[in-house]
Chain A
């Protein structure tokens, strides 16, 4: 039930970001200055935290999607759906910890450290 709610909410959030992300990337067709200016807004620490939340949503949606496929196509999937959800959450943590260390280091060291 909650994995289903989580899958829907993360799906909508990712879709809305995707629409915006295609629009901002399309600025490369306007001019290098326009693109670099807008992408600069993605580099401050507040947006950095937003990107971390977005990646957290994507990683959950990805692994829970694999769980849905396992439930639909694997003979024993429905029986083990609860254990599979714990597997999703474990994989999510294992993926997010190194991602957060690396991404937040880049975001915060560049903001406070120089340039």
Chain B
């Protein structure tokens, strides 16, 4: 059978001679996003399972969580880096996931753009806020009296 005995798919359609899908972008962003979801997902399993184990399973679990508990953790650079990595990776992973869902279900251009703008603004605010909190946190705030960690100087 010769190679041109069967017409190429869609060669007689309105989109002939080439099937045009999305030619707006030739960037590799979607490929990068796909890979990022898998890589960040694996790291997030370690970070979040560790977070849940230390905060909910050890000692008194959720009942032990108060200001002093957080202060005790964030006085250690290990947990600062842990939580910062978890914050950034989780927000970026979740934002990209919700972006995919919006692209799938919001069919009108205006709706899609509006929803994605809200998503990006919310994500940016949360990432900036969380980063500032981790880095500017004071475990012994002046004037505070309750729930302080034991290493704070007695007022």
Contact = CB atoms under 8 A, between A and B. Distances in A.
Contacts of A18: 90-91, 94, 126
Residue among B49, B63, B90, B130 with max Cβ neighbours from chain A (10 Å) = B63
Interface residues of B, number: 41
B33 interface: no
A11 B126 CA distance: 17
Contact of A12 (B44, B70, B98, B148): B98
Contacts of B126: 18-19, 22-23
A106 B70 contact: no
Interface residues of A, number: 39
Contacts of B19: none
Given A11-B94, A72-B38, A39 B136 contact: no
B24 interface: no
A36 B130 contact: no
Given A12-B98, A35-B70, A62 B61 contact: no
Contacts of B1: none
A99 to B, nearest CB: 7
Chain B interface main SS type: helix
Chain A interface main SS type: helix
Interface string A13-28: 0110011001101101
A97 B49 CA distance: 15
A107 B134 CA distance: 27
A29 B95 CA distance: 25
A55 interface: yes
B66 A62 contact: no
Interface string A31-64: 1110110010011000010010001001000100
Nearest to B140: A32
Interface of A: 8, 11-12, 14-15, 18-19, 22-23, 25-26, 28-29, 31-33, 35-36, 39, 42-43, 48, 51, 55, 58, 62, 65-66, 68-69, 72-73, 99, 102-103, 106-107, 110, 115
